[in-house]
Structure 1
Amino acid sequence: MEGDLADSLAALINDGSLDLEAEDRLVIALDFGTTYSGIAYAFNTPGKKAEANPIVDWPGLEGSRQPKVPTLISYDPKDPNKFKWGGQLDWRSDAVQGVKLLLDPSQQQPIYVPTSNIKNELKKLPKDPVDVAADFMSAMYSHAISKIETVQPKEYVRMCQKQFVLSVPAVWSDLAKDRTLRAAKKAGIHPVSLIKEPEAAALYTLYVQERALRSGDAFVVCDAGGGTVDLITYQVITTEPSLKLAEVVPGKGGMAGSLNLNKRFAELVRNVVGDEQWVGLKKGFGWSKVANEFDKAIKRSFNGNLDEEHYITFPQFTLKDDPDEKVSGNYWVMTGHQVQEIFDPVITDIIRLIDDQVKDALLKQQGKNLRGIFLVGGFGESQYLKACIEKKIPDIQVIQPNNAWAAIVNGAVLSQLPHHATVQSTQAVRHYGVSAWMPYQWPADNGRPTRINPEDGIIRVQRNTWYIYIGEDLKRNHTVRFPFVRTFSVPYSREQLIFYDNLLTSATKIPPVYPGRDISINCTLKSDLTAVDTSLFRPKKGVDGKDYIEVNYDLVLSTDAANMKFSLEVNGKRCGITNANYE
């Protein structure tokens, strides 16, 4: 019953029937990250200015106020419904890490990190990754509500209409976005809107620097996190009466997050101690301590100083002395050069992504008004990363704004508040379309497989029709229509009014004309027209003398959020049901 009510509320919000400014709302944003996660909120009360407030007190981290909590979860081996999470765990704990990346296992891993077997990682989980993510989100949300109820009366918090927004990487596949949404729904976070992480970061970063902005200014936002690095360029459309932005060129990104530094550090230790000692070291207490020391201290403080040395001890494990590797008395001296070698392939990858984005943006901007590169996210706080970017791209200012770590979750809140900051249009990063049997055209279709439809006798060939193209401006609050025509013989059954259509996608520069290897199925759309007035169907006589019914309908795509939302229309009126299956 509760799910039905949430679905009905979501439908009212999406079609504009419910005025979100007409009553008190509690906007809750969740940034579910690879290594750290956060929640921020705002009370949107009519007539009062709303501000984003991050949750900074977390279980297990008492006395340390911070806007993020480690994305860790450890299950009770006797009861998979019991678990500890976040700050309740430390480096000694055997915890699930990086589950976010398992929501999109199709993402290409960098060649400079040790190869990992996704199937083996999935087998280690006590549950499906969606369920693990749901457990973590649920714990975060429950804690956040308890903290929010300490600053406002509980009755008021419970009375407020809840509106949720969840940030996702810009490079995320539509399948991964769908899995993230399913995890959020299982966690009780529903109905929820999705926002791209760099978009949320841009909204917050540019909003707090609004006085320094002018219409026409453009900025590259580089969101460098634990798992992914996303880049999108935004142009300031106007600053009055509120900040309005637009994407300049399609965003880019990759799996170049700081988690790769940890993997490369582990590989370095393995090379230093040798495979035989590495097997024993990894099983014990010593490796957990060393890995934590690198993650929490060494990699965060590294600024490029090659003269600095780090004395690393391995408790409860006896290492063989090795003067060549600077291993003596159970400690190892890691040099600044070795730390740099860990960083450099990852930094090079990020700079490549930034350089590509800058060149695309300058081309679109005709070489003008690209004012800076904003570094946000946890990895974006690295001074070494900033220095390397400045060295490679000296003509554009690199800015590390205050509160860069919490920029995403704060910006996600702002995206749902009126009169603050909005992104008016985005850039398509893929082609989207459908494939259908169309009338044969000579000579273009010569040699292609053909068939003859019995209802019209026309020779047809299968071709692709693209409705969204890479680099196309996708205006917010606008829709894209995919027209379909279905013909079936009379009499027909109720089941025949349920159709399945594949939405195709391609990342090639020029969209393919015919089906082939450069095309993949984005999702399968189920359209149910069983409740549609049959008088809207058009009867026709086939060339074979049989009676047919022709059904014309549109699948309507909304690009208002980071995820696609579909509806079904017949004769311009919304009717029927459309569901998208990404699995």
Structure 2
Amino acid sequence: MTDGWTPDIVVGIDFGMTCTGVAYSYGPNWPPPKPIQHWPGLIGSQIATKVPSHLLYTPNTLKWGFQCEETVSDSLSASNTLSTSTSDTVAAKATDIIKYFKLNLDSDFTDSRPDAPSRDQAMCYFRDYIGCVYRYVVDYFSRSFPRFEGMKVEFVFSVPTTWKDPRMVEGLRKCVEFDRGRDHRAVIGLTEAEAAAVYVSGLHYQKNDVILVCDAGGGTTDVNVLKLASAPGEPTVYDPLGFVEGKPVGSVFIDVSVQQLVCTKLEPIKHSLPASTDEIAWQMMGSRFERFKCAFGMMGEELETLRLGLPASVTESDFPEQGIWNRQLLIPRAEIKEIFDEKVADLTQLLDDQVRNLQLTHPAQKISFLVLSGGFGSCPYLRNCIEERYETPTHLWPEGIKVLTVDEPQLAVVQGQVMNRTQQLRTHATVFNHLYSPVSYGVICDWIYDPRKHSGETTRFDERNMKTYAVNQIDWLVMKGDLVPRTGISKSFPRKISPRDLSQPFVAQIVMSQQPRDHLPRSMTQGDAKLICELEVDTTNVEKKIKNHHWYNRSPVYFLVNVIVKLLIEPAGLQFELWSANGDQIPARSRIARTDGNGAPLASVGVGVGGADSPITIWWESIAEKMQDGSGEERMSPGLRLQRGSNVHSEVGGDHAFEMMGDIGPPQQSPRDAKLRPPSYR
């Protein structure tokens, strides 16, 4: 950390759709990550590499993880006896368990389940669940580490690659609540695919190997193509060959599809069921289906039929049309296979896209290995399908691609997360030389009006230079798929300031879009650009040039300041810095922009500082870097690469085709063929 804070313990948390993994390492030697395997709700010497991402709200307590199934089991036992049970067990049913809510944290995710939680509900579940995990981990360490109370602990969270909106990721980080008085911090580390890649790097691969990493979990599948740039024994360094991509494809969707299939088969006998078909279907599936699913495709373990027992209250012992025989529901393997095949097809489409993209962008590179990780990645049937598809030579992969599965696939992400952080602490080495931007980021600005480009756009007339500007335009700093060096991307923007506003901060607004680069909107009135961040900029101590101050100038006096916007992209983080043309960092506060459901700002873009929540840091590590060389002549950092030179205006002075949003009155739409009228100053 740049503030001198260094953790004594690093804890990785892989919050998953079905289960959550926790691993840790400790200084000063930072040994290999060790997973936590003892959890509340397990009996005696039972261990588990992960804990279920489940919650159960009972009248008296909050249950989590393995405690939920234990409570439901107690409830079922109590309901079949005459003994008096507690209020916890009486209230607990299988459908009361809160699960599968991870993807609902993303406002862009569409959940087809009729009882799907809202995003606000999912945020509450996340806060409560992570709070339970945190308190248990603290208690676990208190019993394991002497003088733990005074130790500094860093909790590193991984996120899916499908979560591309930094507002959401930062909001989740802020949800993590720590005990007061403890020196604990929460940070967002690598994405799940990148963390899995770090874990993969320690498994006997050689320098220059090109690895297609596929982390298939419960809710999402993340893929990434990486070239190993380090030799064995050296700190891990990767050269990404594309941006990380993901899809909501995972084992949970198989569970949901099978549950819906069971509901359909139970429909004719629902009058005999003691509860709704939805609840009974989940109860019937239970651990029996989990074992069937995990063994699906395993040689020698194949079962031609999935047998699920019906509740004792069902009167119909046989219902051949629905596969019910002797109080059992029999589901043929072929029907389960159809569900598996649908999800496998979605996953292979994601892999095919990565292979095609590699051939387009790096035709000389050939994939050495396709490496599977994650819970779904360890599924025998998935592995068989992937091997059959990719190890067989085709026009896309003429030599075939060797398919491998990592050791302990369910722990690859959480252990890779800890390995990445401890490598930084030991060697100060960065795992990724550069990154490819997964989305496009831009700055809202005003462009000199061009009728060919800005027809129908809102305009303003600036009497200080007698020019008309189209307002709320977007200048894209980096486009989706652009290679971004670790030093970032920079661009210079002029800004006019009226004398009365010299001591007042102004607001720079940052937007993002997930559209392909050839479909990016040019203004906030087009496309899907979302306002994600507002930077409150203080230019009090920044050098300014006075304009229109001579006796012969008839236009109002103003000051011109040039602001360099610097964008740094991390695997799961985003940072904007503002610099003056002299190479000094400009003080700025960043805050998450408050928007409507479609990502549009609630306040007028470019007017005042309204429409934003209280200041909030988007990224928590500032980069100390001088933006000039010793002579003071260099406007940009020597290590800073400016992408797409035609889009970079490095001149600082004179007339500009664009500028940061003006500080004059509200913009006015000019009628066609009518004379533009300048608005009055505020």
TM tier, shorter chain? 0.7 to 0.9
CA separation of 1:238/1:522 partners in 2, compared to 1, >3 Å: closer, same or farther? farther
For the 8 Å contact 2:447–2:470, the answer to whether it is kept is yes
The alignment-based identity, stated in percent, is: 22
Match of 2:305 among 298, 301, 309: 309
Q: Unpaired runs of 5+ in structure 2?
A: 73-93, 392-399, 595-682
CA–CA distance in structure 2, aligned partners of residues 319 and 472 of structure 1: 64
- Counterpart CA distance in 2 for 1:402 and 1:396 is 19
For residues 130-166 of structure 1, give each alpha carbon's deviation from its aligned partner in whole angstroms, at most 9, with x where no partner exists. 232122112212212322333331x1x3343322311
Q: Counterparts of 2:173 and 2:251 in 1: how far apart (Å)? A: 25
Counterpart CA distance in 2 for 1:385 and 1:522 is: 39
Residue aligning to 2:408: 403
Equivalence for 2:24: 41
Question: Are residue 508 (structure 1) and residue 520 (structure 2) matched?
Answer: no
Q: What secondary structure sits across from 2:108 in the alignment?
A: coil
Specify the alignment match of 2:437 in structure 1: 428
Deviations 1:470-513 (A, max 9, x none): 2222233x23335444434332386x424151423242141536
Describe the shift of the 1:544–1:86 C-alpha distance in structure 2 as closer, same or farther (beyond 3 A).
Answer: farther
Q: Measure the CA separation in 2 of the matches of 1:582 and 1:459.
A: 28
Which residue does 1:86 correspond to in 2?
A: 65
Partner of 1:133: 126
Counterpart selection for 2:49 from 54, 67, 73: 67
Distance 2:469 2:414 in 1: 51
Q: Which residue of structure 1 aligns with residue 331 of structure 2?
A: 334
Q: In structure 2, what is the Cα distance between the partners aligned to 1:550 and 1:83? A: 58
* Cα distance, 1:525–1:483 mapped onto 2, change above 3 Å: farther
- Report the alpha carbon displacement of residue 17 of structure 1 after superposing the two structures with TM: 4.6
1:449 Cα offset (Å): 5.7
Residue 350 of structure 2 corresponds to residue 353 of structure 1: yes
The 3-state SS of whatever aligns with 1:564 is strand
Task: Give the letter aligned to residue 546 of structure 2.
Answer: P
How many Å separate the matches in 2 of 1:483 and 1:143? 49
Q: 1:74 to 1:187 in 2, by over 3 A?
A: farther
More strand by share: 1
Q: How does 1:184-583 map to 2 (within 5 A)?
A: 184-185=176-177, 190-207=185-202, 209=203, 211=204, 213-239=205-231, 241-274=234-267, 277=270, 281-282=275-276, 286-293=280-287, 295-303=289-297, 308-318=304-314, 320=316, 321-366=318-363, 368-394=365-391, 395-418=400-423, 419=427, 422-441=431-450, 450-462=459-471, 463-476=473-486, 478-481=487-490, 483-492=492-501, 496-512=504-520, 514-515=522-523, 517-529=526-538, 532-534=539-541, 536-541=543-548, 545-570=555-580, 571-581=582-592, 583=594
Task: After superposition, give the CA deviation of every residue in 1:383-422 in whole Å (9 maximum; x if it has no partner).
Answer: 0001111122222111111111001000000111134882
Secondary structure (helix, strand or coil) at the match of 2:339 reads helix
CA distance in 1, matches of 2:138, 2:256: 35
Distance (Å, rounded) in 2 between the aligned partners of 1:220 and 1:374:
6
Q: Name the TM-score, length of structure 2 as normaliser.
A: 0.73
Cα distance change on mapping 1:411 and 1:293 into 2, 3 Å: same
Instruction: Name the stretch that deviates more: 214-223 or 502-511.
Output: 502-511
Secondary structure of the residue aligned to 1:297 is helix
Cα distance, 1:122–1:444 mapped onto 2, change above 3 Å = closer
CA, structure 1 residues 391+264, in 2 after alignment: closer, same or farther (shift >3 Å)?
same
1:58 to partner: Cα distance:
0.7
150 and 185 in structure 1: CA distance in 2 versus 1, 3 angstrom threshold: closer
CA distance in 1, matches of 2:548, 2:289: 71
CA contact (8 A) 1:306 1:335 kept: no
Query: Could you tell me which residue of structure 2 aligns to residue 149 of structure 1?
Result: 142
Distance in 1 (CA, whole Å) between partners of 2:315 and 2:382 is 33
Q: Which is higher, the Rg of structure 1 or of structure 2?
A: 2
> CA separation in 2, counterparts of 1:547 and 1:383?
73
3-state SS of 2:476 partner? strand
| Runs of 5+ unmatched residues, structure 1 | 1-12, 110-114
Distance, in Å, in 2 between the alignment partners of 1:192 and 1:401 is: 26
The DSSP-based 3-state class of the residue aligned with 1:315 is: coil
Deviation at 1:29, TM superposition (A): 1.1
Q: Aligned-pair distance for 1:284?
A: 8.3
Deviation (angstroms), 1:254: 0.8
* Preserved CA contact (<8 Å) 1:203 1:421: no
